[in-house]
Amino acid sequence: MTQRRDRREILKLVGVGGGVVFASSLLGMRQADGKGEKKEAKSGPGGKPGEDFFFLQVTDTHWGFSNPAVNPESGSTLKRIVGAIKESKEKPDFVIFTGDLTHTTDDDAERRKRMSEFKEIVKELEGLDVKYIPGEHDASLDKGQAFIEAFGETHGSFDHKGVHFLRIDNVSDPSAIVGEDQIAWIKKDLAKIDAETPVVVFTHRPLFDLYPQWDWATKDGAKVVDALSAHEYVTVFYGHIHQENHHTTGKIEHHSARSAMFPLPAPGSVPKKAPVPWDAAHPFQGIGYRRIEPRAGDAAKRVVELDVPKS
Amino acid sequence: MSGLPVLLGAALLLAACRAHDEHPGAPAAAERVVHVTAKKFEYSPSEIHLKKGEPVVLELESLDRTHGFEAPDLGLRTEIHAGEPSRLRFVPDKVGRFPFHCDVFCGSGHEDMTGEIVVDP
């Protein structure tokens, strides 16, 4: 049964002022030859292939971050987003947090405390399927130990309504690599599905060299991209850079999302990377989360940026 | 059979080049040595002045834990382990300011652990 989601209702319920991110396409809807001809992907395992659905990406919530000049609402931002999701009548099939759930701390006990507080807030989403991957703030100082205790394995895969989803960990190694063991697992995992099954990848860092001068890269990301390249329809959603960025490597699309705590400047736009100060005239500007409807026929509905409710 | 010595030679040459790049031995007499220390969350000096065309060895020493040193615009990258100095040997071939940073996540001030190599004419 195909069910259409009412985007206007979702936007209304979450108090959205956000716009459409890009008009290109996702899963199996990419322009095949530049002549307007569309090629349909095959349906993969899991769920009901071909059925419409949407999910939410929330990233870089940095729970524990405290700097009123950057975000005087740091204690409420995550709660506002969770509240909006909870109150919406339209429920996502799942919510994924793509890393930096917590702001880093050198104190292991404090890290666990922040993760515990984060879980307590997100518990409001009880009844929804909530998934996680770590960011370097969560996992790089203890190789993911506290994250695993709180949220489970740092990488994995699942199938949903004909789409194959991969959660990739490129932060538990403090040198920002995926590592040979995980790459071998990725290859083995992808070998189980047809080359035309749509694949959606979640990572924290970009898998390509977005701006290595600011550490916006994954050192062995090219090996992952190479492994993914055998598949026809691959879309990567990531965080880390605290802003939207849309990039293509070969056939693979890479889309970063805004942070749910503070924005960062455009790559290379300032001499030193630092959070963008809060603009009292435009509260929560540059902060938000994202709704993704992979199979939406209307390109304007496929990825929609959602703002933090102001009240 | 005749290809084997060539392959072995090539492999040895490759290994030698790699060792030269990543773990060069004592600096040659004509090279300028710049000692740089790294600790949470700073380099000293954080601004390294070099001259274009002058061979240099950056001798990097960590005073506490593992850090990284990456200057992408100059193609330089190494890890710096405590108690085990790392060396980067190169000849600056362009004038300008080139940022470097720690690329091994090292703690709450990691993102501030940056510096610049300034290559003068």
- Across A167-180, b (16+ Cβ under 10 Å) vs e yields bbbbbbbbbbbbbe
Percent of chain A clearing pLDDT 90 (strictly above): 79
Give B64 to chain A, closest Cα distance, Å.
Answer: 14
Whether the predicted pLDDT of A32 surpasses 70 = no
Between residues A14 and A205, the one the model is more confident about: A205
Whether the predicted pLDDT of A30 surpasses 60 = no
Q: What pLDDT is attached to residue A47?
A: 62
Cα dist. A173→A60, A231, B58 in Å? 18, 26, 25
Write down the residue that tokens 């902060």 correspond to.
A287
Task: Report d(CA A101, CA A124) in Å as an integer.
Answer: 16
Pairing mode of beta strands A94-98, A130-133: parallel
Of B100, B106, B111, which to mutate for an interface test with A (greatest number of A Cβ within 10 Å)?
A: B111
pTM of the model: 0.86
User: Does B105 contact A213 at a Cβ distance shorter than 8 Å?
Assistant: no
| The CATH number fitting domain A8-27+50-307, selected from 3.90.1750.10, 3.40.50.1260, 3.40.30.10, 3.60.21.10 | 3.60.21.10
- Which residues in A lie closer than 8 A to residue B99 (C-beta atoms)? 213
Give B113 to chain A, closest Cα distance, Å.
Answer: 11
A213 interface with B at CB cutoff 8 Å: yes
Give A250 to chain B, closest Cα distance, Å.
Answer: 23
DSSP 8-class letter at A143: T
A172 interface with B at CB cutoff 8 Å: no
Nearest residue to A30 (alpha-carbon basis) of A238, A217, A310, A299: A299
pLDDT digits (tens, 9 = 90+) for A208-254: 999 999 999 999 999 999 999 999 999 999 999 999 999 999 999 99
pLDDT bucket at A51, cuts 50 / 70 / 90: confident
Query: For residue A82, how far is the Cα from the chain centroid?
Result: 15
- Which residues in B lie closer than 8 A to residue A212 (C-beta atoms)? 70, 72
Q: What pLDDT is attached to residue A298?
A: 75
Q: What pLDDT is attached to residue A38?
A: 42
A269 interface with B at CB cutoff 8 Å: no
Closest residue in A to B67 (Cα) is A175
CATH tag, B3-120: 2.60.40.420
Peptide bond into B41 cis (omega under 30): yes
Whether the predicted pLDDT of B57 surpasses 60 = yes
Give the contacts of A181 (CB within 8 A, at least 6 positions apart). Answer: none
Half-sphere exposure of A197 (CA within 13 A, CB side): 24
Whether the predicted pLDDT of A263 surpasses 90 = yes
pLDDT bucket at B28, cuts 50 / 70 / 90: low
Q: Where are the domains of chain B?
A: 3-120
Task: Report d(CA A237, CA A57) in Å as an integer.
Answer: 8
Q: Dmax of chain A from CA atoms?
A: 57
Q: What pLDDT is attached to residue A274?
A: 95
pLDDT digits (tens, 9 = 90+) for A85-140: 999 999 999 999 999 999 999 999 999 999 999 999 999 999 999 999 999 999 99
A207 interface with B at CB cutoff 8 Å: no
The ipTM estimated for the assembled molecules is 0.84
